[in-house]
Amino acid sequence: AMALLASVSDSETDSEALSDAELQEAFVRGDLKPGLNVELEAPKRRRNDVAGLGQCLAEFRRDLSWLERLDVTVGPAPELPGQQTPVQPGSVDPEDDFRREMTFYRQAQAAVLAVLPRLHQHHILTKRPQDYFAEMAKSDQQMQKIRQKLQTKQAAMAKSEKAKQLRALRKYGKKVQTEVLQKRQQEKSKMMTAIKKYQKGFSDRLDFLEGDDKALSRGQKEGAKAKQMKKGPSAKRRYKNQKFGFGGRKKGSKRNTKESYDDVPASGKLSKSKAKSTSRSALVGGFRFG
């Protein structure tokens, strides 16, 4: 196994040397062109120049008063009675999110308690007056654009809501219309059934003709019809009866009958007027007298 590993390492070394030799020959011939090979950059060295960092810090440090800096270094605020024992910042587990955030919160409390008296000593107000109006972060022009955008959005929402209500009303109207049509169809079917029963004599009441919830029986209807007949026909009916007759069968009404045939005199001669009317009726009836 050791001999096999040694032979493998020797072959790799020979191949690397061979490849280097080939590269040198290619360089001499001018076969190597720019861009075919990439030069590797040396790794950067990381330096911790403490002296240089201190010099930079001294350059931009300014000797300002505390009112300009407003910095304070405090520990966590003291615990209130009945709460847990205070936790030291160094003993807080960074993986415990609740403890870490609670430490930040209590440290902020301690900073407020330490800074407020110092601000009062320098006569600096810590509460906003009732009549204080802060300057807006955005200009009036920008706020006008925002107002127009809000108004446009509100109008679009109102239009959409109105369209939604119209669609709902239209749907409700179609529903009511369908219900009305169905009700009419049911009433019509019920009326037709009642009419058929009335015509066949199965019933003497027509409920659909009730005026003030009182049904008209067949006898009442016949009585009303008899009253109308007592008055006599109307003028229009009388005119039509005079012009066209009183109805009945018209076909063959002017044909010659046995009585009319026997009514002819024995001499066979008629008066001019009677002969004229007889010949006319004979022509209409289909018979001719000679």
User: Encoding tokens for residue 13?
Assistant: 């070394």
Under 8 Å CB-to-CB from 114, ≥6 apart: which residues?
A: 72, 74
For residues 12 and 112, the model is more confident at 112
Q: What pLDDT score was predicted for residue 285? A: 47
163 belongs to a structural domain: no
Res. 284: pLDDT tops 50: no
Lowest mean pLDDT of 34-48, 142-156, 199-213, name the range: 199-213
Res. 149: pLDDT tops 80: yes
Residue 246 CA to residue 5 CA, distance in Å, equals 140
Res. 153: pLDDT tops 90: yes
pLDDT band at residue 8 under the 50/70/90 scheme: very low
Place of tokens 């204080």: 132
Residue 77 CA to residue 107 CA, distance in Å, equals 6
Residue 249 is classified by DSSP as -
**Mean of the pLDDT values across residues 143-155?**
92
Q: What pLDDT score was predicted for residue 278? A: 52
36 belongs to a structural domain: no
For residues 157 and 24, the model is more confident at 157
Query: What is the count of structural domains for the chain?
Result: 1
> CA–CA distance from 219 to each of 205, 210, 265 (Å)?
10, 15, 54
238 belongs to a structural domain: no
Residues 78 and 86 sit within 8 Å (Cβ to Cβ): yes
Under 8 Å CB-to-CB from 146, ≥6 apart: which residues?
A: 138
Res. 13: pLDDT tops 60: no
pLDDT band at residue 211 under the 50/70/90 scheme: very low
Write phi, then psi, for 121 (nearest 5 degrees): -65, -35
Domain span at residue 73 reads: 57-121
198 belongs to a structural domain: no
**Mean of the pLDDT values across residues 169-183?**
89
Res. 62: pLDDT tops 60: yes
101 belongs to a structural domain: yes
Residue 170 CA to residue 192 CA, distance in Å, equals 33
Residue 122 CA to residue 101 CA, distance in Å, equals 32
DSSP E strands, the chain: none
Under 8 Å CB-to-CB from 86, ≥6 apart: which residues?
A: 76, 78, 79, 106
Lowest mean pLDDT of 70-84, 145-159, 178-192, name the range: 70-84
Q: What pLDDT score was predicted for residue 24? A: 79
114 belongs to a structural domain: yes
265 belongs to a structural domain: no
240 belongs to a structural domain: no
User: By three-state DSSP, how is residue 82 classified?
Assistant: coil
Residue 239 CA to residue 17 CA, distance in Å, equals 141
Q: What pLDDT score was predicted for residue 80? A: 67
